[in-house]
Amino acid sequence: MAKPAKVDDSHIRHFIGVEGLTKAQLMAIIEKANGYLTDNDGRPNSIKNSNELEGYTVMNLFFENSTRTRTTFEVAEKRLGANVLNLDIARSSTSKGESLRDTLWNLEAMTADIFVVRHSASGTAHFMATEVTPNIAIINGGDGWHAHPTQAMLDMLTIYREAKKPFEELSVAIIGDIKHSRVARSDISALQTLGVKDIRVIAPKTLLPKGIERYGVQVFNDIDKGVVDCDVLIGLRIQNERIGSPLLPSTSEYFKMYGITPERLALAKPNALVMHPGPMNRGVEIASSVADGEQSVILKQVNNGIAVRMAVLALAMEGQRKMKGI
C-alpha cells in the first residue's frame, strides 16, 4: 500500500493510513487535537470551535455504515466552519451503475476540497488519492480490513491524555478479532511509531492474521496470561457474522474464553484503561460492567474523535494549501 504523501513533519496531504508517517507527524496531530479540547469531561461542548475550514467544502462519502466516524467527522467539519455535504450513497447514481471514478469527478466539479471516504473495499481511499482526484485531500474513514487511521489517532489521543505515562513505558493489549480488524492494524502501527515497546495481541489462532509476529507484537492465545500488568486493554468487535462459523463456535464460548471481564481486568495494572472502538457487543467481547465501569474510557474515545478529526481535517487543508503554494 502506498504511503501518504508528506508535506513536512507537521503537515499532511492526504490521510490514508498512519503507516509511513513519522512520530513528529503523529504527535502534531495529537497535540493539535489536544488543543481543541478544553476540559475532557466527556461532553461535546468541551471542544473549541475554530474557523480553519471556513470557505472550504468537505464531502462525506460513506459507502459503508457508520455511527461514530460519520457523525464525529460531520461535527468536526462544522466546528471548523466548513461547508458540509453528506452524499446519500443509497440514493446516488452509484446505485444505477455509475463508477466510483465518475462519481468522484462529478463531485470534484462541485468544488469539493476534502473527501472523507469509508468503503468496504481495502484500498479505496488510496485509489482516490492517487488516481482520481489530485486536487482534493482524501481522508480515510476506514477501508475494508486495511486501515482506520483517524480511529488509531483518537485511540492515541485517548492514551496520551488518560494513561499518565509516556508511550515508551506502556504495555498495550489488543484483544479480539485481529485478523479482520482495520483498527488493530492502524493501532499497532501508530503505537509502534509512538514508541510503545510492549504491544500484545490476544486472540484465538483462527482470528489472528498469518505472520502477525512480523508486526513486532507479542502473541497470546490465553487472555489470562496476555493481560497481566497491561496499562491499556483495547477490545475489538467480534463480527456477528463470524459467530457460528468454524472460526467461532458460539457467543457464550467466545465470552468464556476471551471476554474482557472484571476478573481479567483485575490481572492488568491497577487503573488500566479499557478501550473499544465500537460498535460494541456486550456479553461477547466485553462484559457490560467493564464497558460501563470506572476504568472505561470508551465514551471519551468518541469525544476525542471529534478533536482528532478536526486536527486531521485542518492539517490536511493546510497541507493542501502548501502544495498549491497558497
Written as one string, the DSSP assignment of 99-143 is -HHHHHHHHHTTT-SEEEEEESSTTHHHHIIIII-TTSEEEEEEE
**Residue among 52 and 187 whose Cβ is closer to ligand CP:** 187
Cα dihedral: 60, 66, 72, 76 (round 10): -10
Instruction: Answer yes or no: are the C-beta atoms of 176 and 235 closer than 8 Å.
Output: yes
The closest of 37, 45, 2 to 21, measured between CA atoms, is 2
Q: Which is nearer to ligand CP, 65 or 252 (CB)?
A: 65
Copy the grid coordinates of residue 221: 492465545
Residue in the block written with cell 486472540: 203
By CB under 6 A, name the binding residues for ligand CP.
66-69, 142, 151, 277-279
Joined together, the cell numbers standing for residue 214 give 512480523
| Residue 278: CB minimum distance to ligand CP, A | 5
Closest distance to ligand CP from the beta carbon of 118 (Å): 7
Give me the residues paired with residue 59 across strands: 85, 115
Minimum Å gap between C-beta 148 and ligand CP is 6
DSSP designation for 44 = G
CA atoms within 13 A of residue 324's CA, in its CB half-sphere: 12
Q: Which is nearer to ligand CP, 92 or 239 (CB)?
A: 239
Question: Of 235 and 319, which CB lies nearer to ligand CP in the complex structure?
Answer: 235
Q: Rounded CA gap, 196 and 189, in Å?
A: 10
Query: Minimum CB separation from ligand CP for residue 134, in Å?
Result: 27
Biggest CA pair distance of the chain: 58
49 contact partners, CB below 8 Å, separation of at least 6: 79, 80, 81
What whole-number distance in Å separates Cα of residue 249 and Cα of residue 195?
37
Smallest distance, Å, CB 237 to ligand CP? 8
Nearer to ligand CP, 42 or 279 (CB): 279
What is the smallest separation between the CB atom of 224 and ligand CP, expressed in angstroms? 27
Of 46 and 71, the one with the shorter C-beta distance to ligand CP is 71
**Closest CB 42 distance from ligand CP, rounded Å:** 17
For the bound state, the minimum distance from the C-beta of residue 267 to ligand CP, rounded and expressed in Å, comes to 26
Shortest distance in whole angstroms from residue 14 CB to ligand CP: 19
The residues pairing with 6 across neighbouring beta strands, listed in sequence order, are 12
Residue 212, exposed/middle/buried by CB under 10 A (0-12, 13-18, 19+)? middle
